[in-house]
């Protein structure tokens, strides 16, 4: 199995607070990897470092998108997206005043080119590009199961569908790595099951998935491998079943003594 | 007219208004004063459509739009007085000069967010007025710039006649052409990759970045285009009025244009044009009515203030809101906060 992303000795400080301390792990191509830890463990900070929203204080993030490995620590978020890393947000961030289809079309932004002159002249090249944007966006919507909702306003969708739309938008950027930040938050068991199915189908398309999730049913059910961090430090990593029974993990979640009780 | 049946209701209404606009000068009540007012409406439509790009499409508050209007007007005025360039050469030059200043102002300042950016634009428009007032060697300062040649269409190069624009009617059709060009450009942008990127920035900057949109580039682009249309309006104004003075470009004008787009419906091309119609005609009506009531003409500014307050209370998204907001309002799901976010002034 080849390595898609190699995170080496990653640290991030916010003033005096060390949010991430010397984190290292690898993400293999085509796996679903879970990133778990108690609240405040630094999961979202790690996401933000990878996505380019935060600049790491030290350490490296090497991303190999098949051409040649590049270091993405400190690169701008829009650059990271065009390299092939897409994300969703913990609090859903959709373009509320736009239609479902337009939301996904924006995901195609980094893979298309036309600007002012193309827009005004509407020449053949631009029309073809517009056509391809539309087709691709429709495919993404169909893939996540939002077919037929193209013209709805994004903010009028049900909660679960908004999550799906966000995933569709991320998929429209043609990522190699998709990072999902608590996608199951607020979902009922049925919706979570559908989500797990969707995540597996995304992997089957050849996209690697990095998943932050608190819902252990989802994590245990879908992940090939789980990385645990606590207080910004790497705690353990391994198969879901092994991690679940790791005394260190139980202690991190439930406190000292809980490991013995369990 | 074979495809008249295929047109949507909205398209029919718009075609009707266009037809009405085209025959308006032939109607019996179309005096010179009346036509002058309608030309003013068209001019403000262009300005409002241009400004709309920044607050309406990008959600950034711009209080200095009149600065670009002034730059365009003086570009046209000075080029005419000193070099005798033809109007048809000057319009693209003013357009480019406006875009240039939009980019020069936007590139360093568009990193600022919300109110801070608004203050910078406000300062810029004041700077333009101060420049026009004090650089007497160039602009003749408060004396103004008189004797700008009116527009003429010279076809003698192709063996045709030379036609000077005298009276209001030729300017009337010139103004319509200008509005049509502006609407055409805005309409096409709205439904393109560029327009979508702008709307994305308006709705959620963080999510826009995560879709690969470079915020600064697109904002600067928006600002440049907005400025260019302002300058284009200015160049028309210069050749139409044949006289310019710095106090034509006071802050008040920026505010008036901003009122038009807020009143009409920020981000909606048609709404913005309705806003221009309402405010310009209201201004002219009040100019007549107020003296009859024994009030000074300046009281009309108070009336505008009152209208804005009532708008914010009863129709916060404008007369013709953008489709998404309109849909939310119809379904009764709209919250005051949401509408504000939609019009982009809450950031």
**Which residues of chain A neighbour B194 with C-beta distances below 8 Å?**
114-116, 119
For residue B346, pLDDT beyond 80: no
What percentage of chain A has pLDDT greater than the value 70? 97
* Structure confidence by residue, pLDDT tens digits, A34-73: 998 888 888 889 988 999 888 889 888 988 877 788 888 7
Banded pLDDT at B27 (limits 50, 70, 90): confident
Residue B275 sits at the vertex; the CA angle it makes with B270 and B277, to the nearest 5 degrees, is 95
Among A135-139, A155-159, B43-47, B157-161, the minimum mean pLDDT is found in B157-161
Banded pLDDT at A259 (limits 50, 70, 90): low
**Does the beta-carbon distance from A97 to B213 stay under 8 Å?**
no
* Helical segments of A56-148, H only: 77-83, 100-107, 116-121, 124-144
**Which residues of chain B neighbour A155 with C-beta distances below 8 Å?**
324, 328, 338
**Which residues of chain B neighbour A126 with C-beta distances below 8 Å?**
192
Please tell me the distance in Å from B180's CA to the nearest CA on chain A: 13
> Is B224 a member of any domain?
yes
**Does the beta-carbon distance from B193 to A82 stay under 8 Å?**
no
Task: DSSP for A92-106, please give it.
Answer: ----TTSBHHHHHHH
* Structure confidence by residue, pLDDT tens digits, B294-325: 888 888 888 888 888 888 888 888 888 887 77
Other Cβ atoms within 10 Å of B340 Cβ, number: 15
Among A216-220, B173-177, B251-255, B328-332, the minimum mean pLDDT is found in B328-332
- Residue B52 pLDDT: 93
Banded pLDDT at A258 (limits 50, 70, 90): low
The secondary structure of residue B4, as a DSSP letter, is G
**Does the beta-carbon distance from B194 to A119 stay under 8 Å?**
yes
Residue of A nearest to B328 (CA): A156
**Residue B327 sits at the chain A interface (C-beta within 8 Å):** yes
**Which residues of chain B neighbour A98 with C-beta distances below 8 Å?**
196, 199-200, 203, 324
Q: In which region does residue A37 sit, left (phi positive, over 0), alpha (psi from -120 to 50) or beta (all else)?
A: left
What percentage of chain B has pLDDT greater than the value 70? 93
For residue B337, pLDDT beyond 50: no
CB A234 within 8 A of CB A227: yes
**Does the beta-carbon distance from B185 to A109 stay under 8 Å?**
no
**Residue B212 sits at the chain A interface (C-beta within 8 Å):** yes
Structure tokens given for B150: 């009116």
For residue B100, pLDDT beyond 60: yes
- Residue B201 pLDDT: 92
* Mutation target vs B (from A106, A137, A175; most B CBs, 10 A cutoff): A106
Return the bridge partners of A61, or none. A7
> Is A14 a member of any domain?
no
Mean pLDDT score of chain B: 86
Residue of A nearest to B343 (CA): A97
* Structure confidence by residue, pLDDT tens digits, A130-171: 899 999 999 999 999 988 888 888 888 888 899 999 999 999
**Does the beta-carbon distance from B194 to A95 stay under 8 Å?**
no
For residue B48, pLDDT beyond 80: yes
Please tell me the distance in Å from A256's CA to the nearest CA on chain B: 39
CATH at B208: 1.10.3470
**Residue A65 sits at the chain B interface (C-beta within 8 Å):** no
- Residue A199 pLDDT: 93
Domain C-terminal end among A173, A195, A214: A173
**Which residues of chain B neighbour A169 with C-beta distances below 8 Å?**
211
- Residue B339 pLDDT: 44
Structure tokens given for A104: 């996904």
Closest CA to A25 of A17, A35, A15, A16: A35
* Helical segments of B242-298, H only: 251-264, 269-292
> Is A21 a member of any domain?
no
How many domains in chain B? Answer: 1
**Which residues of chain A neighbour B202 with C-beta distances below 8 Å?**
97
CA distances from B177 to A129, B233, B241, B268 (A): 30, 12, 18, 20
- Residue B340 pLDDT: 44
| A190 and A137, same domain (yes or no) | no
For chain B, what is the largest distance between any 2 Cα atoms, rounded to a whole number of angstroms? 64
| A228 and A259, same domain (yes or no) | yes
Domain with A150, as residue range(s), is: 94-173
For residue B336, pLDDT beyond 70: no
Structure tokens given for B247: 């106090």
> Is A22 a member of any domain?
no
Structure tokens given for A189: 């068991």
**Residue B322 sits at the chain A interface (C-beta within 8 Å):** yes
Pairwise pLDDT comparison (B165 vs B4), residue with the higher score: B165
**Which residues of chain A neighbour B195 with C-beta distances below 8 Å?**
119
| A247 and A179, same domain (yes or no) | yes
* Structure confidence by residue, pLDDT tens digits, B227-268: 999 999 999 999 998 899 998 998 888 988 998 998 988 888
Please tell me the distance in Å from A254's CA to the nearest CA on chain B: 34
**Does the beta-carbon distance from A98 to B196 stay under 8 Å?**
yes
CATH at A67: 3.40.50.300
For residue B198, pLDDT beyond 90: yes
Phi–psi pair at A124, nearest 5 degrees: -65, -40
- Residue A187 pLDDT: 87
For residue B333, pLDDT beyond 70: no
Chain centroid to CA A155:
21
Rounded Cα distance between A37 and A173, Å, is: 28
* Structure confidence by residue, pLDDT tens digits, B219-228: 999 999 999 9
**Residue A132 sits at the chain B interface (C-beta within 8 Å):** no
Rounded Cα distance between A185 and A181, Å, is: 9
Domain C-terminal end among A139, A173, A207: A173
> Is A9 a member of any domain?
no
Rounded Cα distance between A82 and B210, Å, is: 9
- Residue A260 pLDDT: 59
> Is B200 a member of any domain?
yes
Domain C-terminal end among A173, A196, A226: A173
**Does the beta-carbon distance from A109 to B211 stay under 8 Å?**
yes
> Is B195 a member of any domain?
yes
Residue of B nearest to A121 (CA): B188
**Which residues of chain B neighbour A157 with C-beta distances below 8 Å?**
none
pTM over 0.95: no
How many domains in chain A? Answer: 2
Domain with B167, as residue range(s), is: 31-277
Nearest to B210 among A51, A114, A133 (CB): A51
**Which residues of chain B neighbour A122 with C-beta distances below 8 Å?**
188, 192
| A124 and A156, same domain (yes or no) | yes
Please tell me the distance in Å from B124's CA to the nearest CA on chain A: 26
**Which residues of chain A neighbour B342 with C-beta distances below 8 Å?**
96-97
- Torsion, Cα A210 A213 A215 A217, to 10 degrees, reads 20
| A169 and A62, same domain (yes or no) | no
**Does the beta-carbon distance from A93 to B199 stay under 8 Å?**
no
For residue B60, pLDDT beyond 70: yes
Banded pLDDT at B332 (limits 50, 70, 90): low
> Is B24 a member of any domain?
no
**Residue A118 sits at the chain B interface (C-beta within 8 Å):** yes
> Is A112 a member of any domain?
yes
For residue A232, pLDDT beyond 60: yes
Nearest to B213 among A97, A109, A170 (CB): A109
- Residue A257 pLDDT: 63
Q: Match 């379904």 to its residue by tokens.
A: B331
Task: DSSP for A188-255, please give it.
Answer: -HHHHHHHHHHHHHHHHTT-EEEEE-S-HHHHHHH-SEEEEEETTEEEEEE-HHHHHT-HHHHHHHH-
**Does the beta-carbon distance from A116 to B225 stay under 8 Å?**
yes
> Is A18 a member of any domain?
no
């Amino acid at each position: 199995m080849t390595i898609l992303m190699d995170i080496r000795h990653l640290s991030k400080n916010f003033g005096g607070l060390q949010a991430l301390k010397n984190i290292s792990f690898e993400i293999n191509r085509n796996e679903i990897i879970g990133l778990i830890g108690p609240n405040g463990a630094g999961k979202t900070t790690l996401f933000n470092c990878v996505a380019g929203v935060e600049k790491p204080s030290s350490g490296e993030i090497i991303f190999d998108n098949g051409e040649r490995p590049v270091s993405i620590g400190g690169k701008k978020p829009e650059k990271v997206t065009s390299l092939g890393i897409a994300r969703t947000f913990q609090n859903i961030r959709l373009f509320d005043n736009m239609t479902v289809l337009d939301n996904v079309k924006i995901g195609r932004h980094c893979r298309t080119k036309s600007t002012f002159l193309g827009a005004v002249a509407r020449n053949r090249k631009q029309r073809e590009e517009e056509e391809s944007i539309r087709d691709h966006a429709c495919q993404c919507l169909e893939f996540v199961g939002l077919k037929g909702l193209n013209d709805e306003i994004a903010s009028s969708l049900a909660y679960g569908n908004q999550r799906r739309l966000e995933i569709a938008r991320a998929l429209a950027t043609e990522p190699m790595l998709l990072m999902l930040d608590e996608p199951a938050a607020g979902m009922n068991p049925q919706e979570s099951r559908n989500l797990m199915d969707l995540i597996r189908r995304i992997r089957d398309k050849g996209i690697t998935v990095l998943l932050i999730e608190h819902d252990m049913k989802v994590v245990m059910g879908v992940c090939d491998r789980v990385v645990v961090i606590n207080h910004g430090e790497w705690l353990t990593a391994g198969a879901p079943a092994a991690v679940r029974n790791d005394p260190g993990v139980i202690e991190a979640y439930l406190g000292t003594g809980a490991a013995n009780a369990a | 007219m074979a495809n008249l049946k295929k047109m949507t209701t909205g398209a029919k209404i718009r075609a009707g208004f266009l037809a009405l606009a085209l025959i308006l000068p032939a109607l019996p009540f179309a005096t010179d004063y009346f036509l002058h007012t309608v030309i003013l409406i068209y001019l403000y439509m262009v300005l409002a459509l241009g400004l709309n790009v920044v607050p309406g499409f990008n959600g950034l508050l711009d209080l200095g739009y009149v600065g670009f209007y002034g730059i365009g007007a003086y570009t046209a005025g000075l080029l005419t007085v000193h070099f005798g360039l033809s109007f048809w050469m000057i319009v693209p030059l003013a357009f480019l000069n406006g875009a240039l200043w939009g980019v020069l102002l936007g590139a360093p300042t568009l990193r600022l967010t919300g109110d801070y950016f608004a203050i910078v634009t406000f300062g810029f428009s004041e700077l333009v007025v101060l420049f026009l007032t004090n650089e007497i060697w160039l602009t003749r300062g408060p004396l103004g710039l008189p004797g700008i040649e009116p527009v003429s269409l010279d076809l003698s190069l192709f063996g045709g006649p030379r036609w000077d624009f005298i009276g209001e009617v030729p300017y009337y059709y010139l103004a319509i052409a200008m509005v049509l060009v502006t609407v055409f450009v805005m309409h096409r942008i709205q439904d393109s990759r560029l327009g979508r990127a702008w709307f994305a920035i308006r709705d959620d900057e963080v999510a826009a970045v995560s879709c690969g949109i470079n915020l600064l580039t697109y904002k600067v682009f928006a600002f440049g285009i907005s400025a260019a249309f302002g300058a284009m309006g200015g160049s028309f104004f210069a050749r139409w009025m044949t006289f310019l003075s710095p106090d034509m470009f006071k802050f008040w004008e920026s505010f008036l244009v901003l009122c038009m787009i807020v009143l009409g419906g920020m981000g909606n091309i048609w709404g913005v044009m309705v806003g221009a119609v309402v405010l310009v005609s209201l201004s002219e009506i009040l100019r007549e009515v107020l003296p009859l009531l024994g009030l000074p003409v300046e009281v009309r500014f108070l009336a505008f203030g009152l209208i804005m307050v009532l708008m914010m209370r009863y129709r916060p998204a404008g007369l013709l809101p953008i489709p998404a907001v309109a849909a939310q309002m119809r379904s009764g799901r709209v919250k005051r906060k949401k509408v504000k976010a939609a019009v982009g002034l809450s950031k």
